[in-house]
Chains A and B, each alone.
Chain A
Amino acid sequence: MNLGNNLDILTITFYGSAILLILIGLYAALVKRSLIKIVIGLSIIDSGVHLLLVSIGYLQGGTAPIFSPAVIDKNPVMVDPVPQALVLTAIVIGFAVTAVALALVIRLYRHHKTVNIDEIKNLKW
């Protein structure tokens, strides 16, 4: 398999699965009736966006951006560390959003005794 072909497969794998994850998450968030499933959908969207960002920073043949003793003298090609740092931030924010969303779900369950948004009258779209 030559290099160009290999890159095409990688493009489809990484970008394709990231976009697929975003779409699956969006579908779950819009169609599902259970609030827990909606929160899960939102965090699937999160994962898709993270994969997309990290894939943009990839460089063919690049190593992880860490100057460990094994690679420091070889002057290796490294992938872009900036998207990785951004994704590290985004993961933490995603956790915070999920935690608060789940707390609100618990609060709604306490009040309405259900997590089905069809039965919660003031939550329709």
Chain B
Amino acid sequence: MKKVIVLLLLAVVGYYLVDVFSQISFGENRYEGQNVRDFYLDKSKNDLQVSNSVTAIVVNFRGFDTLGEVTVLFLAATALGSILYRRREDAHGGVVLFSASRIVRAGSHLLFAPILLLGAYVFIHGHLSPGGGFQGGTIIATGFLLMLLAYHDYKVSHGVLSWVESLAGLTFVFAGLGGLILGKTFLENFLPVGTINYLFSGGIIPIIYIAVGFKVGAELTGVLYTLLNEKEYKKQ
């Protein structure tokens, strides 16, 4: 009975989605005259000298939104810690993970540094190539995940993680406040923009994206560490 209701609901939702999207043409040029796309592309190429215009939008034009997004991520990491919090005497039994074989451990150790390097490359070149702080931070967290899976007793210091997180967040906020102090708006670019397609271009965009990369890497590592170190519940 319930399945029938659900299928009926899905049919209604699907019908309306198809109905709406059959009227939105796919891949057609809907941009005529003055439009947002051309404005953003032109601004990021000529005013900001940033070659990746998605980065220019995320960090500069919609920078305030990204600040909120980073806050949501921080809040999620904090909420995870507080939901899974347990008093010391309740934490009992072994870790869920068991140690991997010698080959896996050696391979993970070998791959760990290159993965971190790739992550750093991706977020440092966020304004030049596809990628950016969020993607680079995620790659760094996968490196830590590999180590956590290979070594069941791999320790990540929560103190270091929260320091990295806080400093990166403060860098973001102060880079934004810099524009305000120098008589512009919050998060407006106040540094020289340089030349397009060079590493030192785009003013404050690389600075903010590197800070975001560190912040996301630290937060995701913290989330993974908290979830993986969830202790086996003591049997009654």
On A, residues with C-beta under 8 Å from B are: 7, 10-11, 14-15, 19, 22-23, 26-27, 30-31, 52, 55-56, 58-60, 64-69, 72, 78, 80-82, 84-85, 88-89, 91-93, 95-97, 99-100, 102-104, 106-107, 110, 113
Interface of B is mostly: helix
A76–B130 CA distance with the chains assembled, in angstroms: 17
Inter-chain contacts of B7 with A (CB < 8 A): 27
How distant is the Cα of A66 from the Cα of B41 in the complex, in angstroms?
A: 9
A82 contacts B10, CB within 8 Å?
no
Q: Are A27 and B58 in contact, CB atoms less than 8 angstroms apart?
A: no
Complex partner residue of B26 from A26, A55, A78, A80, CB under 8 angstroms: A55
Total residues of chain B contacting the partner, CB 8 A? 56
- A88 contacts B53, C-beta separation under 8 Å: no
Q: Is B103 among interface residues, defined by CB-CB distance under 8 A? A: no
Contact present for A85 and B57 (CB under 8 Å): yes
In the complex, number of A-B residue pairs with CB atoms less than 8 Å apart? 141
Q: Please determine whether A104 and B45 come into contact, CB atoms closer than 8 angstroms.
A: no
A103 in complex: contacting residue of B10, B58, B73, B227, CB < 8 Å:
B227
Closest Cβ–Cβ distance, residue A29 to chain B (whole Å): 10
B residues near A85, Cβ cutoff 8 Å: 54, 57-58, 62
Q: A81-B37, A92-B73, A96-B72 are in contact. Are A30 and B223 (CB under 8 A)?
A: no
Q: Specify the chain B residue showing the minimal Cβ separation from A13.
A: B26
A100 adjacent to B6 (CB under 8 Å): no
Given known contacts A80-B36, A80-B37, A84-B54, what 10 new A-B pairs fall within 8 Å (CB)? A65-B54, A66-B52, A68-B51, A72-B197, A88-B58, A88-B132, A92-B73, A99-B76, A100-B83, A110-B233
Near A by CB (< 8 A), chain B positions 43-71 give 44-45, 51-54, 57-58, 62, 65-66, 69
**Contact A88-B230, Cβ < 8 Å, known A78-B41, A100-B83:** no
Q: Are A106 and B84 in contact (CB under 8 A)?
A: yes
The chain B residues found within 8 Å of chain A, CB to CB, are 2-3, 6-7, 9-10, 13-14, 17-18, 21-22, 24-29, 31, 36-37, 40-41, 44-45, 51-54, 57-58, 62, 65-66, 69, 72-73, 75-77, 79-80, 83-84, 128-130, 132, 134, 196-197, 216, 223, 227, 230, 233
